[in-house]
Amino acid sequence: MSPESMKRFSLLVEFSDEEREALSEILEERKLPNGKSAFREGSEGEGLVFLEDGRLKLKSRRTGSVIGSLEAPQHLGTASLFSFGKREVTALADGPCTIWLLPRSGMSRLLDDSPRAAYRLAEAIAGELAGLLRSGLDVMAEQEND
């Protein structure tokens, strides 16, 4: 993915041109035809996925249905850069898609090649996860008050 294209992603908005360049050298491109999976529920989370073009449907075996979707430019799988675990959903291309993967091993390479970019990414991910946690706590508090 070009450093210029990376500016579209909220996770990378604070990156400098140099930091985006360092990250672009590590990302792995995958073109997905309609119906092809980016990853499957139950598989080991292998890294952060950036959806550059297209749309992904998120399906769950637990519910047996589509539980959501993502449209470019969005990302998913941030926690898999720092923790081991299984994917919670299957992500299927809903039409042709282009995704870019930052594998877990790429994070350590980024740390070696561009420590500032690795720090910025970790900081952005921590901020995003904290926001999700706050949202979840707000929902729980509302339910408790009902």
pTM: 0.87
Q: Are strands 90-93 and 65-71 parallel, antiparallel or unpaired?
A: unpaired
Q: What is the pLDDT of residues 51-62, one digit of tens each?
A: 999 999 999 988
pLDDT over threshold 80, residue 139: no
How is domain 3-103+115-145 classified at the CATH fold level? Jelly Rolls (2.60.120)
Sheet holding 65-71, edge to edge: 37-39, 90-93, 55-60, 65-71
Structure tokens that stand for 146 in this block: 């009902």
Q: Are strands 65-71 and 55-60 parallel, antiparallel or unpaired?
A: antiparallel
pLDDT over threshold 90, residue 140: no
pLDDT over threshold 70, residue 136: yes
Residue 106 CB-density burial (10 A; 0-12 exposed, 13-18 middle, 19+ buried): buried
Q: Could you tell me the residue ranges of all domains in the chain? A: 3-103+115-145
Structure tokens that stand for 96 in this block: 């042709």
Of residues 90 and 84, more confidently modeled: 90
Q: What is the pLDDT of residues 2-47, one digit of tens each?
A: 999 999 999 999 899 999 999 999 999 999 999 999 999 989 888 9
Residue 56 CB-density burial (10 A; 0-12 exposed, 13-18 middle, 19+ buried): buried
Residue 103: asked if its preceding bond is cis (omega within 30°), the reply is no
